[in-house]
Amino acid sequence: MAIYGYARVSTIDQDLAIQEAALKAAGCTVIRAEKKSGLSKHDRKELNTLLEFMRDGDSLVVTRVDRLARSVGDLQDIVRLLKQKG
C-alpha cells in the first residue's frame, strides 16, 4: 500500500512548492505535480498517470479538493474510479 500525492497549479508562473511540502509531510512516497488548468481531467496527464497506476489499498492525498477536481461531477468521476480500484 502506497501513499500518492497530487499537486496542481493552474498556470506556469505559480509555484508548487507549498503543496509538495505538505504532501511530503503527509507521508506521500510518490508525488505527481503539474502546472495545468483543471478545466478538463483529460488534459491533466500527471493526474491520469496517477489514477492509472494506483492499486487496491493505495491512498491519494491532495492539499485541497480544488487541486484535484474543478466541479462536483469531476470529483464524483474520480471518486468512482478510485472506488473501483479499491
**What residues act catalytically?**
10
Enumerate the β-bridge partners of residue 30: 4
34: phi > 0 → left, psi -120 to 50 → alpha, else beta; which? beta
